[in-house]
Amino acid sequence: MRITTHIPDNIANEIKVFADNEHKSVSSVVADAVQHYISEKRKRYLGTKVLEMAGKIKISDDVHKEIESGRMSTDDRS
């Protein structure tokens, strides 16, 4: 798919140098960068949703005992 966008000259020059150094096309570098950006945004969004949900979930009062028990088991293996 072809998309037209404006990229400031200084960034475009960096992209071209990077693409040359990586032996990639400018298109593939931009596509990789956009994919990375979208992936990071999605991770942050999902992380925020998990944190929001964590405050709404009832956790057993025994959770601290279980965590400590798990730590003791791990410490014993060292």
Residue range(s) defining the domain that contains residue 60: 9-77
Q: What is the pLDDT of residues 15-72, one digit of tens each?
A: 999 999 999 999 999 999 999 999 888 888 887 877 777 766 666 777 677 777 776 7
Residue 2 lies in a domain: no
pLDDT interval class at 14 (50, 70, 90): very high
Predicted structure pTM score: 0.61
Counting the structural domains of the chain, the total is 1
Record the tokens describing residue 18, joined without a space.
């990077």
Residue 59 lies in a domain: yes
Q: Could you give the CA distance from residue 1 to residue 9 in angstroms, rounded to a whole number?
A: 23
Element (H, E) at 62: none
Residue 51 lies in a domain: yes
Q: Could you give the CA distance from residue 35 to residue 56 in angstroms, rounded to a whole number?
A: 32
Alpha helices in the chain (DSSP H): 9-22, 26-54, 63-77
User: 5-9, 29-33, 45-49, 74-78: which range is least confident on average?
Assistant: 74-78
Determine how many CB atoms are found less than 10 A away from the CB of residue 12: 13
Smallest Cα–Cα separation from 34: which of 1, 69, 63, 75? 1
